[in-house]
Homo-oligomer: A and B are copies of this chain.
Amino acid sequence: MMLINTLLSAIEHELKKQVARLDEPHTRFFHDMLTYHMGWTGEGAGPESTGKRIRPLLVLLSAASCGADWQPALPAAAAVELIHNFSLAHDDIQDNSDKRRGRPTVWKRWGIAQGINVGDGLFVLAHLALLDLNNAYPAATVLNAVHILHQSCLDLTRGQFLDILYQDRLDLAVDDYWPMVSGKTAALIAACCHMGALLGHADPERQEHYRAFGQFLGLAFQIQDDLLGIWGDEALTGKSTVSDLVEGKKSLPVLFGLEKNGSFARRWRQGAIRAEEVREMAALLEAESARKSAQEAAQEMTARALDHLRRAEPQGEAGEALRSLANQLLGRGA
């Protein structure tokens, strides 16, 4: 855990340096909105509001577990976290979310216009951060990293497009799930591990194992999250907006349920689920095998992720930490 804490502290320092590009007299308030969104300033600022910085950790641990120094890869670590935060800032507007990690969202505090621009600013800062790799890597390597990150961003907008599109659709099936979560969740996590291996000087075959590890890790993680969103302790208490069922989220268990076309699907198609129905609907889904099917899918993705990780042959303390982080994300204990 020593290593993780060292990395987390270095990531935070690098992120602040990158965001400080906007810390100028004319744009100080712009900078303030960004540091609020990042969890550093304003009411409720602190570790609880920053998120877990999983993506930058994956970049650095991937690089270090290939046997390279992680320090020169810090700009890439900052870049992926800024991309993640760009997508959150826009997602909050697109989903009409008032709160993120218990605090008012940027658009809720300062309006949609500034909210969109905060996301755009984070997006640009991510790409400028990545170019700082130039100080430590050959131009061709930097361009390769830039390409990996942009391609994952394109996938991100594809996934987001589908997510928005699905909101009003009642005819979805399990096949519709994979392109959405591949884009929304897995593409950026795959890019983190891929870039890490690239910056760790891994050969193309090993890079591909790291990339595939990230891809399946992202998918397995998303399905875990979907399962917790319905059967997690908080979700089952039925507090409104805690259960994905109340939110109408097109999660994997719901899509298995819709495909089954039984009692769950009939009720779902009649309109929004109320908080007091949450336990009953979760029980219906379970009776119709949707929970089991989603668990099996998570297990399959987990097995594939761990297989690629094994074949990527992560080394040393960073390799241990990477395996441990993966197991933690996959709900298999630290």
Contacts and interface: CB of A to CB of B under 8 A. Distances in A.
Contacts of A90: 116-117, 120
A250 to B, nearest CB: 14
Interface in A116-157: 116-117, 119-121, 123-125, 127-128, 131, 134, 138-140, 142-143, 146-147, 150-151, 153-154, 156-157
A150 B128 contact: yes
B114 A158 contact: no
User: Do most interface residues of chain A lie in helix, strand or loop, or is the interface mixed?
Assistant: helix
Interface residues of A, number: 46
Contact of A93 (B112, B124, B143, B147): B112
Interface string A200-212: 0000000000000
A160 interface: yes
Contact of A143 (B123, B142, B162): B142
- Stoichiometry, as copies per complex, reads 2
A179 interface: yes
A124 B146 contact: no
B112 A157 contact: no
Given A26-B158, A143-B139, A158-B26, A164 B117 contact: yes
Contacts of A127: 127, 146, 150, 153
Interface of A: 21-22, 26-27, 29-30, 90, 93-95, 111-114, 116-117, 119-121, 123-125, 127-128, 131, 134, 138-140, 142-143, 146-147, 150-151, 153-154, 156-158, 160-162, 164-165, 179
Given A93-B116, A94-B116, A95-B113, 14 more contacts: A22-B154, A27-B158, A90-B117, A114-B165, A116-B119, A117-B160, A117-B164, A120-B123, A120-B153, A120-B156, A124-B153, A124-B154, A128-B154, A139-B143
